[in-house]
Structure 1
Amino acid sequence: MMTFIPKLVQNLLEILEDNEYYDVIIEVGNDPYVKIFRAHMVILYYRSPYLQRTLSTNKRRDDIILTHIKLPNISPETFQIILRYIYAGNLSLIEYDTLNIIKILVAASELGLQELITNIQSFLIKNKVSWIKQNFNLVYQTCFENDSFSELQNFCTDLITRKPENVFRSIDFNSISEKCLISLIQRDNIQIDDIKVWEHVLKWGIAQNPELPSDLSNYSKDDINILSNTLQRCIPFIKFYNLTSEEFLNKVHPFKLILRGSRDGFSSHKFHKICDGIFNTVSIIRVQGSNEILGGYNPTIWNSIEGYNTTKDSFIFSFKDMYNINNYVLSRVADEKKAIFGSIDFGPTFGSDLTIFGERYYGLSHCDSRFYEKRIRETSYYFSVWEYEIFQIIKN
């Protein structure tokens, strides 16, 4: 069989450059960076599933000569590369820097070019490992925002598991989104000490607020509140219960352990003696006879006077198994006027959704579903407290 592929490719590219027989106008980019491309419906229709759907939806009427398409999410420079691939069926990735290759990958996904998606992922994993490690945030966010990038997703997941320090030390780690950060730290199989995870999360939180001092010892009360608000969604995923007292003393800032049941006693009176009047506390409770962890964040004060405290910023959480932190529940306030409950007879209590109660907290604590968005335990049965700790977010 005789083949004439090179000549065919040449002719197709000549068609692309033709300024006379085109029948599609493509407006690419956003103002002020918009460029008009001319193309041919029959080629676009059979080469790109996305453009096929677009052309089918906007079928040309007999009285209209040209069909118009807008692609605002793709840059003109990237689309020019993609368009040549659509016509010629080839693309030399070594001609482009890695950041541009990522842009080509994202554009290929939008246009449904699966062949290109597969090959670009393989090229990056084979040839650009060092760049991926240095720019992990960009790659991680890109691949997990798109289900088409399964090869890159698997590569990133493996990298997180085996060499998490490379991820946390990447040059753009501090710009990672909160959602991506939580997806990183909630993994239970990453090979890194829990205290290291906390240190990196703390650095990330400070980086989100460039107006804050870099030295925690110089923090004002307002600075502490800003940082604690930034980190509030991350806190439930930090395994504080795995840290030693020395690690808390030397490394955990600006959180300070103010009460530990096994050290200070399991009683509501002791709780109020130590914790009343203190703002910004995190309670962590381990359920007796299980690996279950419960807890909550209270930005207001604890007090012994019976009644509710109002706040919209508290939340409660649970881990069904402390060794499998993917199985968690995070619940925010639904009725802010009843977010926190105080009484001399109760330990740390969040509405009636997480209630710590009873002599030595034995057998009478429970979780209901009333004042927070969702239930954090599957059952309303009473439980006993095996250990509990209260941390204050303070100036260190």
Structure 2
Amino acid sequence: MTAKFFDRLSNDLTQLLENGVNFDVTIEIGEAPNSQIFKVHSYILQSRCPYFKKKFNEIPFNDDHVKVLKISDISVKLFNVIVKYVYGGIISLEKLENFIIFDLLIASNELELDELVEYLQTHLVNNNASWLRLNFSRIYQKSYQVKNFKIIQNFCNDIIAKHPNTIFESENFLTLPEDALISIIKQDDLQLDEGKVWEYVIQWGKAKNTTLPTNIEEWTSDNFITLKQTLKQCLPHVRYFSFSHEDVLDKLFPYQQILEPKQWFEIITKFMTPNRSISSIILPPRKILTKVLPPRNTTFPSQIITDEHALEISSWIDKKGSPYIESNPYEFELLVRGSRDGFDIKTIYEICDKVSNTVIILKVEGTGEILGGYNPTEWDKSKIGWMSAQDSFTFSLKTENLKNSILSRTRTNVDFFERIKEIGYYLIESWFSFGYTLVLLNNLKTSKNCYCRKDKSYEKPIRSAEFLSSMHKPPSSNKSTFNVEEYEIFKVSKRK
């Protein structure tokens, strides 16, 4: 029988670290004046950490028989956790915030502590999945910039498979590393039809070659060769035999030159004579879910927007680069609904008086547009005129007719007099306004006085040019004015 006394061993080695007896290495962590010197023992660090084994072999002893090392890209707080793990094999994460744990993961990887890297990934995925989703863009990009994060990569890829727009429609898609893109399009359960996968692959490849002509009819053979070379690692993972007949003609045919001639011939052969045998490898079709999830969570209190819309609005409130995923950090409390409470602007003032941090959502009659805005200031029925609200924004949400949502924040490079025109209150005239980018007047359902126009206080219009007004208070007969089919106002607050 073998007895193991690891607790005592761990405690004794930890005491050796704290006492610093017989140390032969000093490690300066961080930048002065906040740096800290750690007195450590080369034999312990070399036996436990491949990084230090290589480093100490490169550094000679000084006259005091001590090796001196400086590490500036790891904080004192992180290294203190790491060095205690190295000596005692113990780590406690209870008092560490999630972003610190993630930074600890990155530092552990730099020091080649594979056991700790695997443990921290598993901990984050099993215990802090909601935090990973809320910070998805940063986590995903970092997981492919830093090697060995396979557990987190698999976690992220699973989210992307179920919600592909999370990455394909994000502003970071075109800068995605090649191996990340390949890992996505290799997935059997990616919830996209193959024609759409092909479009994204082509879009990514073009972004890597900005000199390619915009109009494909102007492309030369060299242009196609350039794109083919860029995509040579991606092309084998596209499932060409899962394309619809229309997509073969409309999407694949224009780029046939980036495929091998024999491959293109066999794709056409298979679609014309499905039973004929070919030599090309036929990848299996993707496992598209047959049961479509309902577009709106029944617990979400809106009859206009979906959970996906709410997540996007929440990300805008927090000024995130990409939308939140699944776990919304905000609660949306319904205050007003037109069909329930009435459509007159005066009704809104009465119900929302003294309430701040509200989102108004409007479904435009006839067009299906979903317009709205976020107002961080208090509704006040006694106010008349304009006021500044620098964190306010307006938007047009993604619908069947609008591929991507439009976000319009307040401008920062305008003079003071334009800045104070960001939110307008005027109960007496039944008027509320986000600058002139979204103006609400009178009865939203019947008066046809609401309109949008270009505005100096906000970055961009939220409607297409044909529906923008060129004047202040256009008549109801004007094409730019609109009625509202339904509207809702929510109080938005952080979840506890």
TM-score under structure 2 normalisation? 0.41
TM-score under structure 1 normalisation? 0.49
Q: Whose RCO is larger (CA < 8 A, sep 6+)?
A: 1
